[in-house]
Structure 1
Amino acid sequence: MSKQTNILQILPGNGWVAVYDESGEESAAPLVCFALVETLDNGNKTQDVRPMCADGKRIVFADDAANFVRVEELAEFEEGEEDEEEEEDAEA
């Protein structure tokens, strides 16, 4: 029996990003929404909240990407980037 995933509800993803590992550097893509999904796998039902991003003209589950790392608030991600730049400047 195969997995079947159904989206039960979507919630806006404003202010949140999916963080990806791009050859050791982190990049972020804005979330379109969070989806409450129900998965049926061999008779077992599970529910999860999953992030979704735009991919061209489609909206896809961000956590399906092989290089997906985490979901983070945009402000926190940008703050972390500023901290890294300050550390690099201090090392120079």
Structure 2
Amino acid sequence: MSKQTNILQILPANGWVAVYDESGEESAAALVCFALVETLDNGARQQEVRPMSADGKRIAFADEAANFVRVEELSEFEEDEEDEDEEEDAEA
């Protein structure tokens, strides 16, 4: 039997980003929404919330990208970036 995935509900993701590893550096892309997803796999049902982002002209599950790291609030990601910049300035 094959695995079937259905989106049950879409939730707004304002202020959230998907974080990706770009050759050792982290980059962020705004999330479009979160999706409540139900997967049916050999008769077993599982529900989870998954992040979705724009991929060109379509919307895709952000966590399916090979370089996906995590989901984070944009404000937290920006703070982490500022902390890293300050550390690099102190080392120079």
Asked whether the two chains share a fold, i.e. TM above 0.5, the reply is: yes
State how 1:56-71 maps to structure 2 within 5 Å: 56-71=56-71
Stretches (4+) displaced over 3 A: none
Q: Deviations over 1:35-62 (max 9, x none)?
A: 0000001111000000000011100000
Letter in 2 for 1:55: D
Tell me by how many angstroms 1:66 deviates: 0.7
Percent identity among equivalent residues?
A: 87
Matched, 1:79 2:49: no
1:49 aligns with 49
Deviations 1:53-79 (A, max 9, x none): 001110000000011000000000000
Taking structure 1 as the reference length, the TM-score comes to: 0.99
Structure-2-length-normalised TM-score: 0.99
Partner of 1:13: 13
Tell me how large the CA RMSD over aligned residues is.
0.4
Q: Which runs of 5+ in 1 are unaligned?
A: none
Could you tell me which residue of structure 2 aligns to residue 39 of structure 1? 39
